[in-house]
A and B are shown apart, each in its own frame.
Chain A
Amino acid sequence: MSFVLNGISVRHASVVRNNSLALIDINLSIKQGEQIALIGPSGAGKTTLLHALACAHQPEPGGKFSVFGLQPWAMQPAARHALRGRLFLAPQTPPLPPRQRVVTAVLAGCLPQWGFWHAIISLIKPREPEVAYAALARFNLQDKLYARVDRLSGGERQRCGMARLLVSQADALLVDEPLSALDPTLALQTLAVVQLEAASRNATLVCSLHQVELALSHFPRIVGLSDGRIVFDAPRNEVTETMLAALYRNTPPTQHPESIDPEDTCWSGPSPC
């Protein structure tokens, strides 16, 4: 079992929301190697759920949360941090420092496995550029290996974030809206690469998406989230139009790739440890 959540509630991280609950009474079980799409309107709590799965936010007491059979929030901080190395969270905005080169930004995905001095030397002269090259090549970005991140377009930056996912050696991939800046063709290609990678590693993939059609056509299991609660959790052939309409009740069913809802991000506040 990759993830087991029983009665999990999580508060909003940002002060804006008055510390109200972002997730309420979540029950979810995910087997190793499963691929799940997370859908729901903006502000539903998809990002918070991904962060909770990544052990970035501690849930409220009174629920059960286990990752790979371990209880992360009952562990020592060092052990919990080692556990985080097996999880990979890809946020919606690619977290790449603007003036850094793509090769370093992508290789940062290997940091959990590298020792400190290996990491520092790689900053000065990248130790494994082939690894980064191969990852970028799968997104057709191999020419940008030594380019600066701020010279890339939005879509290219997003795919670099995905390339970082490829070089990491995580057993669970938690991806937040990876296709928002991509046109439909690129979106399909990128999604295919990510899913192929997850399948080849037998890694669990939890992917939040705005494009409901993509979710339904590519993922075997769909979880619908609204107002912090799981509205449905079903295999894709059991998801009906009525269920989708109820989920997106107050919002139009097709969302444009738009700017991030600022209340959906969890960047304010101190470190997650």
Chain B
Amino acid sequence: MSIVVNTAVSRHPDPAWRGRITASLIALIVLWPLLIASEFKPWILLDAQSLGATWHFLAGFFPPAHSKDFLVLLMQDTWQTIAIATAGLTLALLSAIPLTLLATESLSISRLESGRMRLASAVVRQVVRWLLVLLRSVPELVWALLLVRILGLGPTAGVLAIALTYSGMLGKVYAEILESSEAHATQSLLKNGSGRLAALFYGVLPASASELVSYTTFRWECAIRGSVVMGFVGAGGIGQRMDESMKMLAGHEVSTMLIIFVLLVACTDLVSTFLRKRLG
């Protein structure tokens, strides 16, 4: 009898074990082609040639380039980056506002009357929404690449790329914020015959102002980072300068620019946080 008791007590198979084995096998089966497709060969990092090149490049980082002419040049480029981001975001704002007005249901006048929108305006709303989705789904660097092809090198391509992508993002978020806020003020304004734009400014805006400002400031910060990245495809600013220095493997210049970049990001982070607290 003790034998029966022993086996009853000592056999406690883990019910989750089989599931875990299966999950691990599936993970391995999925992992293998991923490793092959991405050419995952960590030993490359350790071969002599790669180590030599890396060491040579990194050794050039110290000391960072600090000649006066170079620093002045970098300041100009940094300003250009900020300018590209600001101009691009301004354009995005200007184009997002009409798009938002079209896409927001709470500003729908035709809905007031029958409770449902007219078919034509509903269609317009959907089209605008899809347009916004397209604008923000295409990565901004792709826009930049296209625009550089069409317009040539220089900051114009960067400004437009930011304008296109961010108008999509801003439009969507503005529409959501406006739709989630108090409908009453807007509705009464619209009922009393005001135009959509007036309803926006006096009905919806005061209530959602802080959220809108907060999001726009956050996006300005992102736009600055984005415009640095766009410099690498020729859209001007400090990114383009970094691209040139990297192509020449000028480590000391790259390290200065990296330091400036990290400082720029930190500063815009501070400014953005400050603004959001003050205006929020």
- Write the residues of chain A forming the contact surface with B, with a CB cutoff of 8 angstroms: 101, 103, 124-126, 129-130, 133-134, 145-146
In the complex, chain B residues whose CB is within 8 Å of the CB of A134: 9
Whether, in the assembled complex, B41 has its beta carbon less than 8 Å from a beta carbon of chain A, the answer is no
Which residues from chain B sit less than 8 Å from chain A, CB to CB?
A: 9-10, 12, 14-17, 20
Secondary structure of the A side of the interface? Answer: helix
B12's nearest neighbour on chain A, judged by CB, is A129
B12 touches A133 (CB 8 A): yes
Tell me how far the C-beta of B182 lies from the nearest C-beta in chain A, rounded to whole angstroms. Answer: 39
Q: Are B17 and A125 in contact, with the CB atoms below 8 A? A: yes
Q: Which residue of A lies closest to B9 (CB)?
A: A130
> Chain A residues with Cβ under 8 A from B10's Cβ?
130
Query: From residue B99, how far is it (CB to closest CB) to chain A in Å?
Result: 44
Task: Check B12–A124 contact: CB distance below 8 A.
Answer: no
Q: List 19 A-B contacts (CB under 8 A).
A: A101-B16, A103-B14, A124-B20, A125-B14, A125-B17, A125-B20, A126-B14, A129-B12, A129-B14, A130-B9, A130-B10, A130-B12, A133-B9, A133-B12, A134-B9, A145-B12, A146-B14, A146-B15, A146-B16
Give bound CA distance, A129 to B9, whole Å: 9
Closest to A130 in B: B10
Enumerate chain B residues within 8 angstroms of A126, measured Cβ to Cβ.
14
Cα-based distance from A126 to B16 in the complex (angstroms)? 10
Say how far A93's CB is from chain B's closest CB, in angstroms.
Answer: 26
Residues in B with CB closer than 8 Å to A146 are 14-16
Contacts of A103 in B (CB 8 A): 14
What is the bound-complex CA distance between A126 and B13, given in angstroms?
A: 9
CA distance A124 to B20 in the complex (A): 8
Complex-state Cα separation, A126 to B20, whole angstroms:
12
Q: How many Å lie between the Cα of A125 and that of B18 in the bound state?
A: 10
Chain A nearest CB: distance from B133 CB in Å?
36
User: In the bound complex, what is the Cα–Cα distance between A125 and B20 (angstroms)?
Assistant: 9
- Across-interface contacts of B9 in A (CB, < 8 A): 130, 133-134
Known: A101-B16, A125-B20, A134-B9. 7 other contacts (CB 8 A): A103-B14, A130-B9, A133-B9, A133-B12, A145-B12, A146-B14, A146-B15
